[in-house]
Structure 1
Amino acid sequence: MLGYISSTRKKSCYACVKAKRRCDLGYPFCKRCGIKGYDCKYPNATPRDNFKASSHVPAEVVVRQTTPDLVPLASVDLFDPFFFQTSDSSGSTSSSSSEALDDFQLQDGWIIENPRPMPRTPLTRMLVPEIAVPSFLSEAQTLFVIRSLISLVPAMAFNGTTTFLHRHLYQTHEPQAYQDCVALSALYLSKTARTESILVKSMTAKISSMINEAPTWTLPQHLAAVQALIIYQIIRLYDPTLNLHAEAVAHNTLLQHWSAQLWKRAFDEPQPFESDYASWVFHESLRRTIMTSVFVRCGWSCLTRGGYAEQVPVLARLPVTKDLEAWDCAREEWDVRSLSILGEEENLMTYGDMGGSWSHDRSVEGMDPFAKMLLAACRGEDDPRLLV
């Protein structure tokens, strides 16, 4: 349940005004602020009671039903990336997770109207598109997502890269967490009854080491740690022969927490890069890492709860690069793609928008594996080609 600022009293949010960009008036924040991680504030979006002694007229906040409310608001994970709002360019302070939750609660004095017919806006301009993002995945969708996740382990072992870790990400420096992850992935693929205990103890030791070192991480080290934990979680959650489910389920909370912290740091701690390409490689790897970390937990939820995708409200709002084919292109080709010309905002859309823009006349041949996993999860039921 989200809202928008009534068109009768509409005024763009401060961030869009400052950037001279069009604001879609989404509430509690517009799409641009949601993607960029800004504090989204409207000039008059405050309770009417505060204006009794003022000549200003408060904006009307109109409730609009978009995606289903899958769980009671109080039970939504506060550590998920969607609930982190970082400071904007004007230097306002960050909102805490509890403050972000308060933004979704209706306050006394707000004027609430029943939903009324509105002109349909393009899907790509809406904070949460009016599409059916599934709250339950079919068995075929669940199995496809889990197989896609499992395939990341051999990719890490053989190539040192995955669909969420670009091959050029660690060219100049390889964090320790990344080196350990590649080594343990290779050990897992070659494990025997004799080496299985070594594998289990090594993963436990590496995770404990990362927990101890977490306070001192740089942002690249933090990214590498989340990527490593994703691989360790896939191995432990989805290989029943290791009997590590209990420990892995407990560490789902750790993965959730680290991912949310990583997402927030990405906005708060700008990094220096030698080129636009290097910047894109880092930030696209980070976006895909966040998405995959949620998919790992979502896959486990579907597997153990009859297909129930608990993380849908978070997934629908996470940003995805429109040009997913750029991931595997050569540097020279990347330089002439729109990614190198347009700004970040123009190159991103929400995962919900991505699912809504899919049509059955589009080809699935040679599709980026990451894109196929995303589309299989939200459109695989009505387009079985995505599950092959």
Structure 2
Amino acid sequence: MSSSRQKSCLACVRAKRRCDQGFPKCRRCVARKVDCEYPSRIFGQSPQNVRSEGNQDFGFAERFAGEEPAGSSQLQRRSPALSAARLSPCMNDAFLEFGNEPFNLPYLPGDDDFLSPTIIDNIMSQQQLQQPLQQDPGDDDVGRIKSDMGLQSRVEFAAKRLAAIPKTFAEQAHTMFVHRRLFQERNPAALQDALSACALYCLRTPENQALVFRNLEHKSQQLIAAIDPHRVSKVDLLAALQALVMYQVIRLFDGDVRLRAQAEADEPVLVTWAAQLKSRTRQLAPSLSESSTPASASPDALLVLQDRAAHWQRWLVEESCRRTVIVALMVKGVYGFLKTGFDRSPSLRMSFTAQAALWGA
């Protein structure tokens, strides 16, 4: 009689590694992007590859206010797990660029130049070291989301998209949260330094890598020392947070242990700046179904319909603030999830205008 006990997958058995026996793929096979085969679960059935067919169907709400919205769906996602075999790095900044279709992201071909499975595996290896020191989230702690196979692929997908941001910024001076027009017209020193650091990082070689890493350390320390989030202007704080996000993405997902330690030490600064910028940012108004005010009379609609030359600039600043705060906390959450297996999600209650035509104009 065959045993009904779940056995380790064949890849973990061959590598002599412990298997978490996740279904349809164990975490180790997901991280390494290899086929995960289990011995037959049914007597007489031959082993076969188990694959998860990813189906993208994300729903995003375009608006939510600073106060409690009535019946507002906020950044809700409805999707089964994305197939790990289809995870690919971002070759452009399409992460927040999806037009009128809800999160209609293309899967772009490419290797793992931005974030290799080895780096993800190294970050995830810290989970076993930290788990004995951490308490499991209680039933009332709804902010902490435990890791599972369904979420793991999505988080790795987001990590690869985030890891491509510095290269996109170096090539185009424009990302899903840094607008080229604002950058060129205002030319803030913080973003100039970030652009040069990103360009230098993209050109790194084994011979100049030590110099590149020292430059990153110097630029980030210089930025943090120069900014007081309570005294600088809103636009200067925006540029500083955008630059810090670039530095955090590079240092967290490069794979260098020293860079990662520096980024972890600077994480409280990132959270503080994001919270301060959020408090100074106008939120999108409730939709017509949530308010008796006509949609055409909402503040953002008036900015477009009135003096377009002047108000477009104002809308661009506000939209950049909203997107930057979201991406900053997304970087923190994605890395924290990979490292610890869960994330304590803040009560963000922010939105962005999910229309590529407006942001790309």
**What's the TM-score once normalised by structure 2's chain length?**
0.51
Match of 1:319 in 2: 351
- Distance in 1 between the 2:325 and 2:140 partners? 22
2:219 to 203, 206, 211: 206
Distance 1:237 1:296 in 2: 9
The equivalent position to 2:314 in structure 1, one of 266, 279, 296, is 279
Matches within 5 A, 1:44-123: none
The equivalent residue for 2:259 is: 244
From 277, 282, 291, the counterpart of 2:326: 291
The Cα of 1:302 is off from its aligned counterpart by: 1.5
Give, as a single letter, the amino acid of the residue that structure 1 aligns with 2:225. Answer: N
Corresponding letter in the other structure for 1:186: A
Q: Indicate the residue corresponding to 1:191 in structure 2.
A: 204
- Displacement of 1:278 after TM fit? 1.0
**Partners of 2:174 and 2:180 within 8 A in 1:** yes
Q: Residue 230 of structure 1 aligns to a residue in which SS?
A: helix
Q: Describe how 1:135-214 pairs up with structure 2 within 5 A.
A: 138-214=151-227
Q: Is the 8 A contact 1:155 1:162 kept in 2?
A: yes
| CA distance in 2: counterparts of 1:322 and 1:248, whole angstroms | 29
| Displacement after TM superposition at 1:75 (Å) | 11
Once the two structures are superposed, what CA deviation does each residue of 1:234-291 show, in whole Å capped at 9, x if it has no partner? Answer: 1111111363221111111110011111122335xxxxx9612111111111111000
Query: Quick check: 2:143–2:343 contact (8 Å CA) kept in 1?
Result: no
- SS of the residue corresponding to residue 352 of structure 2 reads strand
Matched residue SS, 1:275: helix
**Unaligned ranges ≥5, structure 1:** 1-25, 35-69, 78-132, 268-272, 331-388
Report SS of the residue matched to 1:240.
Answer: coil
Assess, with a 3 A threshold, how the Cα gap between structure 1 residues 73 and 278 changes in structure 2: closer, same or farther.
farther
Match of 1:257 in 2: 272
1:135–1:310 CA contact under 8 A, matched in 2: no
Contact 2:170 2:195 in 1 (8 A): yes
- Aligned counterparts of 1:234 and 1:256: Cα–Cα separation in 2: 14
Measure the CA separation in 1 of the matches of 2:271 and 2:138. Answer: 18
Please show how residues 5-24 of structure 1 align to structure 2 within 5 Å.
none
RMSD of aligned residue pairs (Cα, Å): 3.3
| Shift, 1:158, TM fit | 0.5
- The normalised TM-score by structure 1 is 0.47
Do the aligned partners of residues 191 and 244 (structure 1) sit closer, same or farther apart at CA in structure 2, a change above 3 Å counting? same
Give, as a single letter, the amino acid of the residue that structure 2 aligns with 1:222: L
Of all paired residues, the percent bearing the same amino acid is: 28
* Count of residues in Structure 1 that have an aligned counterpart in Structure 2: 206
Q: What SS does the aligned partner of 1:30 have?
A: coil
Structure 1 residues 76 and 256: alpha-carbon distance in aligned structure 2, compared to 1, 3 A threshold: farther
Q: 1: distance between equivalents of 2:357 and 2:152? A: 28
Q: Distance in 2 between matches of 1:140 and 1:226?
A: 28
Structure 1 runs, 4 residues or longer, greater than 4 Å off? 70-77, 133-137
| Residue 231 (structure 1) aligned to one of 235, 246, 254 | 246
